[in-house]
Structure 1
Amino acid sequence: MAETSSSEELVLAFLAEAGDEFVSGEAISGKLGLTRAAVWKHVNALRAAGYRIDALPARGYRLAEVPDRLTALELRPLLDTHDLGRELHCYDELGSTNDRAKELADAGAEHGEVVVAEAQTAGRGRRGREWVSPPRRNLYFSVVLRPDLPPARAAELTLVASIAVCDAARQAGVAAGIKWPNDVLVGGKKLAGILTELAAEPDRVHWVVIGVGVNVNARAEDFPEELRGDATSLLIERRRPVPRALFAAACLTGLEGWLDRHAEEGFGTIRDAWRERSVTLGREVVVRTEGREIAGVAEDIDAQGALLVRGRAGVERILAGDVTLLRPR
């Protein structure tokens, strides 16, 4: 895990905030309390790390190009959060970001600490399924949360996360929607998945880890052949790549905003937002649970986030299961 000086991060943040404008070395040194020589040194260190920074006499420096990497240097200047991502753990490769986040949580990690990996060798989705994680194309991150919630309400956070990821995908220009409980789809194909794990006692939650995997710049050939008809990416849908650091920042900023609303306003607000983004409600579905298969129309989610399916025997309340969407009503 690479460490970067805080001064380099500050210089980068200052240049990023200026956008396409040049910033004088004098302005940077005055704002950050650095000597002009120190500014020059940090600019050269950033260039060596892959940033293209233009320089003109009497005008100063301008950030012209950012490498497509997910390290603290790229992510921290983009975050507009009070807790999420203030502490970043960035890796070139992990078995699973969720597993590392759980280790950190057990060791006392603070609320909002984030684990990001460029690749996963043992990424997984719900029910232990493999999550295909090619290197340096997509986004894989996990967030440690310490919510003031009883364990019975922890599942609500999965729906909170699905809203944030759906919104970030829409901001990136694709018509995303949520399949219950937590898959983000575009055109019926899977764009993102969310895995929530927790440690709790009967009356309180110790920690919750929310893992997010988003297919950002994956090409069709990056998916196993058997998944190509069911999976998609932002690149495939938009026909142009997405800056991954910007997309990660949008996910984390959105997630924190929805977590704050959940804490302040309760699940009712989340339920309404989830309904608006749902591609499940009103559809004929087949739900496979442990040892059962339930067919019917997905009518709603209840006050605990369970899916309500009206079948031949009436309305069934489903807490967990795999949903297959059939033709629209």
Structure 2
Amino acid sequence: MGNGKTSTKHTVLEILRESRAAVSGEEIAQKTGVSRVSVWKAVQALQAAGYDISSGKNGYTLTKDICDSLYPWEFGASENLIAHFPQTKSTMIEARRIAECEEAEGRQNARIVTADSQTDGHGKNNAPWTTTKGSLACTIITKNRIPVAHSQRLMMAAQIAWAEVLEKSAGRKFFVRWPNDIWTAQGKTGGILDELSASASVCRWLNLGIGINITEKPERFSEVSDCVFPDGTAITRKTLLFQFWKEFKVLETLALEDSAALSDRWNSLCCDIKKTVCLTDADGLPTGKQAVFNGVNALGFASLTFVKETRIFPPGTVSFVKTKF
């Protein structure tokens, strides 16, 4: 998943987690193969990040851990993929900056942008997205040079990955809904927002902003919302994100192939197939029209049957009202 190397911060933290007694800086330096000064700097950085590490005559002790941390060093050899912000306006904004800097500098930067808190998160139609306590807010940066017309295939890959990972983790059924939602039978659990930059109709980068309600649902939309672990018993965000990333990378490869296998898999996870839906326009306003949702084609475009005809709609041209089922 990463570059195979771990940082001093990761190694120091693992040593302290495994020891009940204090560990001297000299012992940590020997185990990590770095200087005592490097160990001291790593401890300082961990303390600044919120890990309670005390220092005494016998060495360092981890007196209070961060149980659900998304800092890069928590991901071990994969930490080079992570850019974490304790608080930011939006992971989408940070991911856009990273992707654009990468284009200008010609080097690879982070691929997953995470945040504990977003002050200006948004979903489809610029609707505010509330980052509930303990929820997962992140953006995936992809650099596949694919036609813009094929970009929804990456959205489908992300939806499938999340639905399958969450089902395995929570022991509940999760569904995908067109064009960008994750639901349970009780309500919406998560959403994905895409943003891309293109030239000559080919993507330069495509980012997928993800919001998942882990143990709480937003009060504003509580009647149609759900969370992954309603009983409050959850595995860590780090574990969920790591599992998603592994599954997404497999599905990303499938999304780049000229195959209907991805859309077939998406359709098998969709709860709206062959149901009558009430259509809305691109701004989310009701159109007064109804149609039967047949699923998506290989590009992720919706197939809708009206009274006299069946038509195909790309994402962004039409949507439909989603309710509990």
Both proteins in one fold, TM over 0.5: yes
Deviation at 1:214, TM superposition (A): 0.4
Instruction: Tell me what 2:225 maps to.
Output: 231
Q: Can you list the C-alpha shifts for 1:223-256, whole angstroms capped at 9, x where unaligned?
A: 23x41111111231x4423312111212222222
Instruction: Tell me what 2:184 maps to.
Output: 186
Q: Which amino acid aligns with 2:252?
A: L
The answer to whether the 8 Å contact 1:13/1:77 transfers is no
**C-alpha distance 299-118 of structure 1, shift in aligned 2 (>3 A):** same
**C-alpha distance 231-327 of structure 1, shift in aligned 2 (>3 A):** closer
Q: Can you list the C-alpha shifts for 1:45-96, whole angstroms capped at 9, x where unaligned?
A: 86995479xxxxxxxx99x97522221132x1285xxxxx633211111111
**C-alpha distance 295-98 of structure 1, shift in aligned 2 (>3 A):** same
The answer to whether the 8 Å contact 1:50/1:67 transfers is no
TM-score w.r.t. length of structure 1? 0.77
Greater shift, 292-301 or 118-127, is seen at 292-301
Is 1:152 equivalent to 2:146 in the alignment? no
Is 1:165 equivalent to 2:157 in the alignment? no
Question: Could you say what secondary structure the match of 1:235 adopts?
Answer: coil
Which of the residues 93, 98, 114 maps onto 1:104? Answer: 98
Question: Could you say what secondary structure the match of 1:284 adopts?
Answer: strand
**C-alpha distance 33-157 of structure 1, shift in aligned 2 (>3 A):** same
Which of the residues 123, 128, 131 maps onto 2:129? Answer: 131
The answer to whether the 8 Å contact 2:72/2:80 transfers is no
**C-alpha distance 200-8 of structure 1, shift in aligned 2 (>3 A):** same
**C-alpha distance 113-294 of structure 1, shift in aligned 2 (>3 A):** same
Equivalences for residues 74-89 of structure 1 within 5 A: 74=74, 76-77=75-76, 86-89=80-83
Which of the residues 248, 259, 274 maps onto 2:252? Answer: 259
The answer to whether the 8 Å contact 1:10/1:32 transfers is yes
Deviation at 1:306, TM superposition (A): 0.8
- Unmatched 5+ stretches in structure 1: 53-60, 80-84
Instruction: Tell me what 1:298 maps to.
Output: 293
**C-alpha distance 15-313 of structure 1, shift in aligned 2 (>3 A):** farther
Equivalences for residues 7-86 of structure 1 within 5 A: 7-12=8-13, 32-33=32-33, 49-50=50-51, 67-74=67-74, 76-77=75-76, 86=80
TM-score w.r.t. length of structure 2? 0.78
Question: Could you say what secondary structure the match of 2:183 adopts?
Answer: strand
Q: Which amino acid aligns with 2:73?
A: L
- Aligned residue pair count: 302
Deviation at 1:211, TM superposition (A): 0.5
Q: Which amino acid aligns with 1:181?
A: P
Instruction: Tell me what 1:6 maps to.
Output: 7
**C-alpha distance 153-161 of structure 1, shift in aligned 2 (>3 A):** same
**C-alpha distance 244-198 of structure 1, shift in aligned 2 (>3 A):** same
- Unmatched 5+ stretches in structure 2: 1-5, 54-60
Instruction: Tell me what 2:278 maps to.
Output: 286
Which of the residues 240, 253, 267 maps onto 1:275? Answer: 267
Q: Say what the alpha-carbon RMSD is for the aligned residues.
A: 3.6
Instruction: Tell me what 1:93 maps to.
Output: 87
Question: Could you say what secondary structure the match of 1:131 adopts?
Answer: coil
Instruction: Tell me what 1:241 maps to.
Output: 234
Could you tell me the percent identity over the aligned residues? 20
Taking the aligned partners of 1:34 and 1:111, their CA distance within structure 2 comes to 25
Equivalences for residues 308-327 of structure 1 within 5 A: 308-320=303-315, 321-325=318-322
The answer to whether the 8 Å contact 1:284/1:326 transfers is no
Instruction: Tell me what 1:213 maps to.
Output: 211
Instruction: Tell me what 1:82 maps to.
Output: none
Taking the aligned partners of 2:33 and 2:240, their CA distance within structure 1 comes to 31
Deviation at 1:298, TM superposition (A): 1.2
